[in-house]
Structure 1
Amino acid sequence: MPPPETTELSDSECFKALRPELPEQRRALKSLLELLLVRLPAEERGRLERRILRKLKEGECPETALYEGLIDDRRGQKLEQLTLMVCDYRGFDSFEYLAPILVRASGISAPFAYAHDGSKAMPEVLAEFDVWLQKHGMRYLHMDTGGDECAGFVVEAQYVQQAVELAREADIRLSLESF
């Protein structure tokens, strides 16, 4: 049977009907957010959590809610409190700019410097970044966004397995390996 010509439901209501929110998925996403945003001031952490959970409630999938909730230029994460680093697959300039900011925001006092020499692909550059982070007790977790960008978080090494498990429960793909 063909769909009706018009409907009185909003787009948000249609998405909710197609993808009902699961309480355990919401709980896992909330726990994951607490782990990923732990270094932010309480007020900022709460603001971003509410923003991301609101996007989930509006019908976005958890991965999209997390991604868009953080990267929005006006209402997402603040640059000095960078949590999710997103670079184009060939965005070496943006990596060179964002990686030191992410390192500082992660609580690492040692400076990180990168200069693109043209010989490595972005996944290799991120693997080297992860090796550098390991010396400071941190790891770089890649997030699968479904796009051609490279996105990821810096997490304390002891919480990597917990973050991956919470992400899986929330239907988000995080991994130490690039996608």
Structure 2
Amino acid sequence: MGILDRLFGGRFTMPPPEETNLSASAIMKELRPERSDPTQKKALETFAQALVAVVPEKEGARLVRRVMRRYAMGDDAPSALAEGFLNDPKGQKLATLVLLSVEWQGYDVFEYQAPYLVRASGLKEPYAYVREDASSMPEVLDKFDQWLARFGKRYLHLDCTGDNYEGVIVDTERLEEIIELAGRAGIKASLESF
């Protein structure tokens, strides 16, 4: 302030900054948007817990905490789920893959991750993907769903991000329950790709 005061000949004055006695957590609460529906938060937590029911308990609890932390930081439910599970450095481990995310031409990623997803869902039968040149990614995922149907499982598409195809493997008898949980959490879920 002394340099500016000398430059402007004593005409530059600025009032001292206002002090606050708010805690850091109170300031962060003011900066975060307020959630209007606490039932959606509980529904998201229940949905995430249903998805991780097939992985070891400690890993599942860690992933659910990550999803809920992202939601508390202001992400909407689909983004919180995708970021919580798919964040590369701290997201889901390959051995306990729950949420598959592939790009529209992510055939190599699908070929690599689909066997891990199948194994993590509890199936003993190995999945071998054979790439066909004319197949689009929705067709590949549809054939994957047909293969899973033989074992009492289905591939459920989730609308989490606009660019990728995300989905999970669920038991056929729990399909309607999982779709309902997703809807209550604010996440679109369907057997058809989005």
Cα deviation code 1:78-100 (max 9, x no counterpart): 01100001111111111111111
Would the aligned equivalents of 1:12 and 1:59 in 2 still touch at CA under 8 Å? Answer: no
Query: Hey, what does 1:94 align to over in structure 2?
Result: 109
Q: Residue 128 in 1 paired to residue 131 in 2?
A: no
Displacement of 1:147 in angstroms is 1.8
Match of 1:35, as an amino acid? A
Match of 1:76, as an amino acid? G
| TM-score, reference length from structure 2 | 0.83
Cα deviation code 1:27-70 (max 9, x no counterpart): 11111112110011111111111111111111110110000000
Query: Hey, what does 1:161 align to over in structure 2?
Result: 176
Match of 1:109, as an amino acid? K
Would the aligned equivalents of 1:21 and 1:59 in 2 still touch at CA under 8 Å? Answer: no
Would the aligned equivalents of 2:157 and 2:193 in 1 still touch at CA under 8 Å? Answer: yes
Whole-angstrom distance in 2 between the partners of 1:91 and 1:12:
39
Displacement of 1:121 in angstroms is 0.6
Whole-angstrom distance in 2 between the partners of 1:167 and 1:10:
32
Q: Residue 114 in 1 paired to residue 152 in 2?
A: no
Displacement of 1:15 in angstroms is 4.2
Describe the shift of the 1:12–1:64 C-alpha distance in structure 2 as closer, same or farther (beyond 3 A): farther
Would the aligned equivalents of 1:21 and 1:57 in 2 still touch at CA under 8 Å? Answer: no
Query: Hey, what does 1:40 align to over in structure 2?
Result: 55
Task: Using the aligned pairs only, state the percent identity.
Answer: 41
Q: For this pair of structures, how many residues does the alignment match? A: 170
What residue ranges of structure 2 are gaps of 5+ in the alignment?
1-19, 21-25
Whole-angstrom distance in 2 between the partners of 1:170 and 1:105:
24
- SS of 1:37 mapped into structure 2: helix
Q: Residue 142 in 1 paired to residue 150 in 2?
A: no
Describe the shift of the 1:47–1:140 C-alpha distance in structure 2 as closer, same or farther (beyond 3 A): same
Pairwise CA RMSD of aligned residues?
1.7
Displacement of 1:10 in angstroms is 7.0
Where does 1:41-60 land on structure 2 (aligned, <5 Å)? Answer: 41-60=56-75
Larger Rg: 2
Q: Residue 16 in 1 paired to residue 33 in 2?
A: yes
Where does 1:68-79 land on structure 2 (aligned, <5 Å)? Answer: 68-79=83-94
Hey, which bits of structure 1, 4+ residues long, moved more than 2 A?
8-15
What residue ranges of structure 1 are gaps of 5+ in the alignment?
1-7
